[in-house]
Structure 1
Amino acid sequence: MPFSAHEDHNLPLQKFESMLKTNDVYFFDSEDFQEIIHHYLDIGKVSLAKKALQISLKQHPASTELKLLKVEILVFENQFDQAENLLEELQFLESNNEEIYIQKANIYSKQDNHAKAIELLSQALSMTDDNSDIYSLLGMEYLFVDDYLSAKNAFIQCLSEDFEDYTALYNAIYCFDYLEDFDGAIGFLNDYLDRNPYCEVAWHQLGKQFVMKGMHKEALSCFDFAIYSDDTFVGAYLEKGRTLERLKRYNEAIEHYEITLELEDPTSFAYLRIGKCHEKLGNVKLAKKFYYKTVHEDPLLDKGWIAITDFYYRQKDYEKALYYINKAINIDSENVLYWKRCAKINAHMMLYTEASYAYEKTLELGNYELQTYLSWADLMLEHYDYDIAVDYLLQALEFYPEQADLEYRIAGMYYMLQEPSKGDRYLKKALEHNFEEKDIIEILFPEVYNQNAVKNIIRSFKNPSI
């Protein structure tokens, strides 16, 4: 328990620190030492905690609680063998002390032996009536091994012991979400609210479950109850704002986002959402104003830079769109979303070299989306770089085999490169995989489409008897 300067139990801490300064030796009872050691551990002064522990064990050599604190410090310093040896000694003396099993479980957990940790924590459950913390630890161990069902049950058991443990509540809902059991989560939260009807956290989480099910009116009611339970709960205002957005009630959404700006320091998320709402309402100047505030508040938020870039792109102000996406790239040159937009804008402005470089960067950063390959190939096609385009399209075909969009383009480019046998082969593959998309050849390669040999191949697929 942390000490406070305004509480009587701060006196042992003052007495202990006075002892360290004067080299006098004072006597403390075991509980005082435990509080002193916990205080130093809580504020990160491990060396002082160890000093207090050393003195405490001289004064109380038989104290199991102090020895368990020593185990805790040994584990913190990764001295697992020493910690285990001490726990073995303690277990011989007190075989039914659940804290010994908890500390052993902690050691196994840190060594990634979560199955053994679960076994030990399960044993500890039978040794005490105060199981809340043990169920919480069990839940975390189950999460480590991706057993979300068991983790969920453990966190629910934790809440049955201590229904105000909001960490366990959040963790239980996390498990429901991972299992996509939204109905189960709703039932669980309704039961929880029967016991704790003014819990803003539970109402907030219940609202989010209704959002996931597309039940927006029910979600709004839940967020209202969360706000009624705590009218300073920023999360509820934000979620209600998002829900109002989904219902296209943009003015009301803005009102709720603005409340969050008054309750706490402004957030880039709130500015971004207000900007999006104003843009939907056609308030162009206000949208722009809040997008600027978004990137000013958090220059590292990619959604802010993307929003302002897309805003100018939709306004057909491509120079400003390019300006802001380049600013974003200067901040984070590894962001694929930035490079994709950079490529699209440069291509629209007919800046071929810059667009090509941006497409190349998206691939270097691991973005192998089909559309990236197609857009880049079409750009190179416009500039007659057929040989380079073929290389990249063949690479794309490794990720997307039997993709007719790619095969029609490869065929057309081989024809343009005067390699008709390769063109014939890929044209036939494309026709086999998707005959309906044969118009790609006519649209992108009209001079190829008008060749009799190509028309004959297409006709033969339309009527195999020919």
Structure 2
Amino acid sequence: MEFSYDDHDDVPLTKFESMLKTNHVLFFDSEEFENIIHHYLNQGKIALAKKAIKLGLDQHPTSINLRIFKVEIYVFEDKLIEADKLLNELYSLDPTNEEIFIQKANIFSKKDDHEQAIAVLKQALELTDDVVDLYSLIGMEYLFLDKFEEAKEYFMKCLNEDSEDYSSLYNIIYCFEFLNQTEEAVAYLNEFLDTNPYCEVAWHQLGKQYYTLKNYKKALAAFDFAIISDDTFVGAYLERGKVLEKLKKFEEAIENYTITLKLDEPTSFALLRIGNCYEKLKNDELAVQYYYKTVHEDPLLDKGWIAITRYYNKKRNYQKALYYINKAINIDSENVIYWKLYSQINQRLNHFEEAERGFKKTLDLGNYELNTWLSRGDLLVKLGEPETAVDNFEQAVVFYPENAEIEYRLAGLYFSLNETDKGTFHLKNGLRYNAEYSFILEELFPEVTSKILVKNILNLNQ
């Protein structure tokens, strides 16, 4: 039994802590020590657990259970050799104690020898009638090995023994999802719900599977049943709101998200979704109010800042949009979408150097879209950096060979740099790939089109 400060069964714990303060040694039976140690381990108070183990063994030196706790501490502190040695001693004293096998498996698991851990845990199964915890431990070891079918089998065994073991239910669904077995997950959950019709967690998970399958009508029904089973289930209201958004029922979605704000502390997710719904309903004033509430609730939520950025960008208030995109980038500087938006906003403000920097960052992050190469190169031309622009477009050719838009730009740049042979080569390439795009040369490099050589090449292709 674990102690709690909220009940009347914590007398031994209070007595123990009083003893630590006064240094008067008091007697406890071994079971009381076990409960005290278990309490401290659950609370993460390792130092106090170690004190209790030491004092317990002083009073009960032959207690196997207290020595198993000592093994547990050894394992926690990665003292695996000491743990193994003590376990071997205990096994010789009590070879049918399943806890010894569990700790042995724990050591194997710590050593990443999960197959051996599973073998030991299966031995322990033969020694106990209390199999649920062992099934769960075996399932976890299979997860470590990425053996999701086997893991799923053992978590299902847990749920067969205890239908309220929601941790195992979540693990089962995790395995189904990892294996991309959405239809199979739906079948399993429906079968489970036949015998457990008021399990809100199962209804919630079923709704999520239907959502993945884009069967929004059935998803909505599943979330309805989850709410009928537990009308305070915040997760079900949130998921129901998402489905209603997909069905374009934005007012109803807002109602569901608003319920979650009343049931629990406001979440930035719900506030952001409400803002999005109001934006879809063309109520910009309320939309931006909720976006601001979102970032007030969670200042580190980049999606909140980006929502405000897009709002002001749409309103053509580019100064404010720039302020908020910088907030988003400060939180997530590796997000390609943010850097592209940063560049577009700076372009509209004629901040060409900053816009170019943004496109370069986008490319550095591995986003090699054609438009990114073209936009960055054109900005470099505008900034009077033709050599860097050439490097940019030469890199782009690697990703987009035989692309006329790149070839005309390279032609214009090389002619501008008086590298006539290279300019001629790329101009002829551009005309061969798509003659209709030759206007790019005149648009970006008007001085080049006045060159006699360029005019002659263009005339030959008319």
Whether TM-score is above 0.5 comes out as yes
89-98 vs 206-215, greater mean Cα deviation: 89-98
Closer/same/farther in 2, CA of residues 364 and 52 from structure 1, 3 Å limit:
same
Asked if the contact 2:302–2:331 (Cα under 8 Å) also holds between the matched residues in 1, the reply is: no
What SS does the corresponding residue of 1:2 show, helix, strand or coil? coil
Is residue 393–residue 406 contact of structure 1 (8 Å, CA) maintained in 2?
Answer: no
The aligned residue for residue 219 of structure 2 is: 219
Q: Pairwise mapping of residues 285-296 of structure 1 onto structure 2 (< 5 A)?
A: 285-296=285-296
In structure 1, the residue corresponding to 2:303 is in which secondary structure? helix
CA RMSD of aligned residues (A): 2.8
**Cα distance between partner residues in 2 of 1:426 and 1:132:** 71
Question: In 1, distance between residues paired with 2:255 and 2:357?
Answer: 43
CA contact (8 A) 1:407 1:429 kept: no
Rounded to whole Å, the distance in 1 between the matches of 2:159 and 2:207 is 20
Change in Cα spacing, 1:178 to 1:396, as seen in structure 2 (3 Å) is farther
Contact residue 216 and residue 247 of structure 1 kept, 8 A? yes
Deviates more, 1:13-22 or 1:257-266: 13-22
| In 2: Cα distance, 1:51 partner to 1:342 partner | 57
Post-superposition offset of 1:165: 1.2
Structure 1, 447-456 or 260-269: larger mean CA deviation: 447-456
Which stretch shifts more, 297-306 or 317-326? 317-326
8 Å contact from structure 1 (residues 200, 227) kept in 2: yes
Residue 249 to residue 48, structure 1, CA distance change in 2 (3 Å):
same
TM superposition shift of 1:252: 0.8
**Which amino acid in 1 is paired with 2:277?**
C
Structure 1 equivalent of residue 274 of structure 2: 274
Counterparts of 1:122 and 1:396 in 2: how far apart (Å)? 58
Cα distance change of structure 1 residues 424 and 72 upon mapping to structure 2, 3 Å threshold: farther
Counterpart of 1:171, as a letter, is N
Structure 1 residues 97-124: Cα deviation after superposition (integer angstroms, max 9, x where no partner): 3222221221222232323323322333
Determine the structure 2 residue equivalent to 1:463.
none
Unaligned runs of 5+ in 1: 460-466
Of the three residues 453, 460, 464, the one matched with 2:457 is 453
CA distance in 2, matches of 1:74, 1:427: 74
Contact 2:40 2:46 in 1 (8 A): yes
Structure 2: distance between partners of 1:440 and 1:244 = 46
**2:61 is paired with a residue of what secondary structure?**
coil
Superposed displacement of residue 190, structure 1: 0.8
Cα distance in 2, alignment partners of residues 361 and 427 from structure 1:
29
* Secondary structure class of the residue paired with 1:9: coil
2:111 matched to which residue of 1? 111
Task: Answer whether contact 1:288 1:308 (CA < 8 A) is retained.
Answer: yes
Task: Give the corresponding residue for 2:339.
Answer: 339
What is the letter of the counterpart of residue 323 of structure 1?
Y
Residues 312 and 320, structure 2, Cα contact 8 Å, conserved in 1: yes
Instruction: Show the counterpart of 1:240.
Output: 240
Label 1:444 to 1:196 Cα distance change in 2 as closer, same or farther (>3 A).
farther
C-alpha contact (below 8 Å) 2:300/2:331 kept by paired residues: yes
Residue 61 of structure 1: SS of its match in structure 2? Answer: coil
- Tell me the equivalent position of 1:177: 177
1:71 paired with 2:75, answer: no
Q: 1:316 Cα shift?
A: 2.2
The one-letter amino acid paired with 1:218 is K
Q: 1:62 to 1:427 in 2, by over 3 A?
A: farther
Deviation by residue 1:414-465 (Cα, 9 ceiling, x = unmatched): 3544434445655777789xx4x66545436566787443676x89xxxxxx
Letter of the structure 2 residue corresponding to residue 33 of structure 1? F
Contact 2:430 2:438 in 1 (8 A): no
Hey, what's the Cα distance between the residues in 2 that align with 1:238 and 1:359?
36
Residue 144 of structure 1 corresponds to which residue in structure 2? 144
> What's the CA shift string for 1:120-175, capped at 9, x where partnerless?
22333333232211222222222222222222222222212222111111111111
Q: Is the 8 A contact 1:402 1:430 kept in 2?
A: no
- Residue 33 of structure 2 aligns with an amino acid whose one-letter code is F
Q: Retained in 2: the 8 A contact 1:136–1:154? A: yes
Q: Give identity over the alignment, percent.
A: 56
CA contact (8 A) 1:242 1:253 kept: yes
CA distance in 1, matches of 2:431, 2:99: 70
| Matches for 1:187-266 after TM superposition, within 5 Å | 187-266=187-266
Q: CA deviation at 1:246?
A: 0.8
Give the letter for the 2:271 counterpart. Y
- Cα deviation, 1:177-201, whole Å, max 9, x if unaligned, reads 1111100110111111122211111
> Is the Cα contact below 8 Å between 1:412 and 1:441 reproduced in 2?
no
Q: CA deviation at 1:20?
A: 3.2
| SS of residue paired to 1:300 | coil
* Displacement after TM superposition at 1:89 (Å): 1.5
The answer (yes or no) to whether the contact 2:397–2:403 under 8 Å persists in 1 is no
1:419 alignment partner in structure 2:
419
Assess if the C-alpha contact under 8 Å between 1:155 and 1:171 holds in 2: yes
CA distance in 1, matches of 2:350, 2:304: 26
Picking from 440, 444, 448, the partner of 1:443 is: 440
Cα 1:329–1:67, aligned 2, differ >3 Å: closer, same or farther?
same
Report if aligned partners of 2:238, 2:256 keep a CA contact under 8 Å in 1: yes
Number of residue pairs matched by the alignment:
454
Name the counterpart of 1:131: 131
Return the letter of the residue paired with 2:440.
I
Letter in 1 for 2:315: Q
The 8 Å contact of residues 301 and 331 in structure 2, kept in 1 or not, is answered as no
Q: Which runs of 5+ in 2 are unaligned?
A: none
Q: Corresponding residue for 1:94? A: 94
Cα distance, 1:290 vs. partner?
A: 1.1
8 A Cα contact 1:206 1:222, kept in partner: yes
Q: Distance in 2 between matches of 1:405 and 1:132?
A: 66
Distance in 2, matches of 1:297 and 1:403, equals 50
Matched-pair contact (CA < 8 Å) for 1:104–1:117: yes
1:62 equivalent in structure 2: 62
The residue number in structure 2 matching 1:464 is: none
Report the Cα distance in structure 1 between the residues aligned to 2:149 and 2:400, rounded to whole angstroms: 38
> Residue 328 of structure 2 aligns with which residue?
328
Residues 157 and 415 (structure 1), Cα distance of their counterparts in 2 relative to 1, 3 Å cut: farther
Match of 2:11 in 1: 11
Moved more, 351-360 or 443-452: 443-452
8 Å CA contact 1:152, 1:175 repeated in 2: yes
AA of the residue aligned to 1:188? Y
Q: Is the 8 A contact 1:404 1:431 kept in 2?
A: no
Q: Give a deviation string over 1:185-240, Cα, whole Å, max 9, x none.
A: 10111111122211111111100100111100100001111111111111111111
Higher mean Cα deviation, 220-229 or 141-150?
Answer: 141-150
